[in-house]
Structures are given as C-alpha cells and as structure tokens.
Amino acid sequence: MTAMLRFPVLLPFRTRSYRFQWPADLLTSWALEMEFIILGWYVLVETGSVLLLTLFGALQHGGTLIAPLLGVVSDRIGPRNLMLGMRMIHLTIATTLMVLAFSGLVHPLIVLVLVGLTGLVRPSDFGLRSALIADTLPSEQLAGAMGLSRITTDSARIAGALSGAGLIAILGMGASYMVIAAFYGLGIVLLSQTGSAHSKPAADPAAPPAAQRSSALSDLSEGFIHIWNTPSLLAIMWLALLFNFTAFPITNGLLPYVAKEIYLIDQTGLSYMIATLSFGAVVGGMLMSRVRVGARLARLMIISAVVWHLQLMGFGHMQSLTAGIAALLLAGMTQSLTMVSLTVILMRESGQRFRGRVMGVRLLVIYSLPVGLLVAGALIERIGFAATVSIYAALGLSTTILIAVRWRAHMWPPS
C-alpha cells in the first residue's frame, strides 16, 4: 500500500480484479505474440509469397465482422465471462497445432485455416480487456490503468518476439506450442479470479421491461445510434478506422517482408525489429500511465497520430537496419500515445450501458487493417515498399487532420 501511495501509477493494482487481470492479459499477450512470430515466419519461408503473408495477417482480424455482436453479448453476460470462453478457443487451437507439429502434419494451408479460426475471437479480446478495466476501476484511474494494460500487449511483443524466435530455434514448433498452451491455460486460471459487482452490467432501471428483453439486433442498433449521435465517439471511430488502414499494416503485418527482402536478415533479426517497436510502445504506455492530461487528451491523440505517420513515412525509406530500428522505436512510442488516448476517450464517453456495444463497433473498424494489408501486398509487388508506405502515411496524415478539423470542438477543445 505504501508503494502504491508513493507511486500513483500503481494505484490500479489496489483493485483485486486488476491485480489478476493484468498478469492474465500479459500471459495471453505473450502467447499470441509467440504464435504470430512463429507462424508468420513459417508461412513466409514455406510459401515465399508476400501475398500469403498479408493474408496470414488479415486472417487474424476476421473476427472484426462479428465484434459488434460479441459486444452485445458482453453487455449481457459481462466481459469477463465472454473473455473466458474466447481464451478457451485460443487454448484449443494452440493445443491442436502442438499435436500437428509433433506429428509432422503442419502445412501452410492448415496454418492459415487455424489462424482464421483464431482470428474470429482474437480482435475482440483486446477490446474486452478495456471494457473489463472500465467496469472494475474508478474513472479517474482509467488513463493510468489503460497505459499499464497497453504495456502488457507491447511488452509481450518484445518477449513474444524474442522468445518465439528462440524457442522454435532450440525446441522446434511442437515444444514451442507446449509453452504457448501453458501460457494460455495459466492466463485462463488468473482471468477466472477477476471481476466485481460491476463486471456484469445490471439492467437499466430507467429502461422499460420490453427494452430489457430486446433482441441482440435491437441492442446492436442502439449501439450504432448512440455512436452516431455522440460526436466525440463518431470522430474516434473514424480515426480508429483510418489508423488501422494506414498505419498498422506497416508494422503489424509487413515487418517479416521488410526483414527478409529489404534488410536481408533472418527470423532472429525480425524478432529484434518487433521487440524494438514494442519497446517504444512500452515507453509510450509508461508515459501515459504517469502523465495527467485531462481534457487535453484528444489533443495529445491528434498530435501523436500526426507524428506517428511522419515517422512511418521515414521508416519506409530507411535502407539500413540501424536507421530502421531507430525509426521503429520512435514510431512505437507515438503509436502507444495515440492508441491509449483513443481508448481512454472511448471508455469515458461510451458509458457503462453501451460500453460493450461501443467497443464492439470499435473492433469492427479494425477490419480496415486486413483490407489495408491486402491492398499493401498488391501495391508492394507493383510499386515497391517505399512508395507504398509513402502513400499510406500521406493518406493517414492528411485524413487525421481533416477529422480533427471536422470535429474540432471535440478533438481540439479550448483550454
């Protein structure tokens, strides 16, 4: 307790649910990132196709199409219960891959099919983490808690990338998946200890009984209407759609291509690139957990987004590994500042009644990421990586500014 008073950044850990959720999310994120590095490199090496690599990345986000419906389910049964079921699916698929690897039956087509199944639930997991945090912590601790939560994801990219490359080199795919399955299993045990009286939303006392028994589609429609009628939420959704199309494809799907074709390095070198990007994001998350920006949070998000796209444009033209790693470090910082700010604003503005549905719609816009990946893959084969990144960064930069101007009362409020 004394340490928490001395370091306000640790205040969220006073809440029992958060003390269990944080390590549960950490273990799950580590397992997810180890799978990403192992399977992504496997697909690229076995097929030699950048299009199949981008398809691999796109399949991980197929569940964005059903995310709004999962958001409705979250509002009805609580985010923790839904997360438990989803993480059991991760554990089952990881165990299946482990058995296939030990049997020598792994094939790129099988990997893509299983990744597609995982992708049905993977996108919603990250949004539900935020919803559970918002349900179990006071609003004044949200920025710090979200920053710490972001660290679980980004530090996992460091540990997952480095350990994923090391495990498969030393143990092989089968034994590596034993470790991954163990991480998923322990994470499920920890997650089962989370939640509070607020983690399963109660029925709205002001709502008529019929509304409380409304259909899933009716609830989903209410969520869309709520977003449309709330300017700050609508602006955030457009920004999230944009970032997932223009920025994340560069760092969330194309780094294996950059490592192999531009920097001419192996899987270990790729893991260092991912770890550097993630370390920058960890630094950004730590800054967000300590800095109090209050009403200026939207300004911080816009400024960080502009700088983020400029850094990605520079990264696209880096021909040396050293310069590229430096650019990734800075891009990771601004990416974290942007996305943590976006998530906190979303949680504050949505309200508990609509939180699951709003996060479901937020996850739906992630579908622009696989679209961006597939378009980028086609463009790279025609005009090259540098030109493709320049187009993406310029589009993201200009559209961010347009959105900030269009909703300036909410994105750039007076001091």
Q: 60-69: per-residue pLDDT in tens? A: 877 877 888 8
Q: How many whole angstroms separate alpha carbon 260 and alpha carbon 282?
A: 25
What is the CA angle 407-409-415, rounded to 5?
140
> Which superfamily, per CATH, for 11-195+216-411?
MFS general substrate transporter like domains (1.20.1250.20)
Higher local confidence (pLDDT), 123 or 6:
123
Mean pLDDT of the chain: 84
Higher pLDDT, 382 or 272: 382
pLDDT digits (tens, 9 = 90+) for 370-403: 889 889 988 998 999 999 999 999 999 999 999 9
Percentage of residues in the chain having pLDDT higher than 70:
88
Which residue, 23, 19, 237, 36, is CA-closest to 118?
36
- The whole-number pLDDT of residue 199 equals 47
- Whether residue 366 is predicted with pLDDT greater than 50 in this model: the reply is yes
User: In the chain, where are the structural domains located?
Assistant: 11-195+216-411
Closest by alpha carbon to 128, among 350, 363, 341, 336? 363
pTM to 2 decimals?
Answer: 0.73
**Virtual torsion, Cα 68, 73, 76, 79, nearest 10 deg:** -90
The answer to whether 200 and 73 have CB atoms below 8 angstroms apart is no
Res. 84: pLDDT tops 60: yes
Residue with tokens 């949070």: 297
Average pLDDT over residues 121-139: 84
pLDDT band at 348 (very low <50, low <70, confident <90, very high): confident
Distance CA 163, CA 54 (A): 23
Nearest to 102 by CA among 193, 162, 176: 176
Write out the two tokens for 95.
């165990």
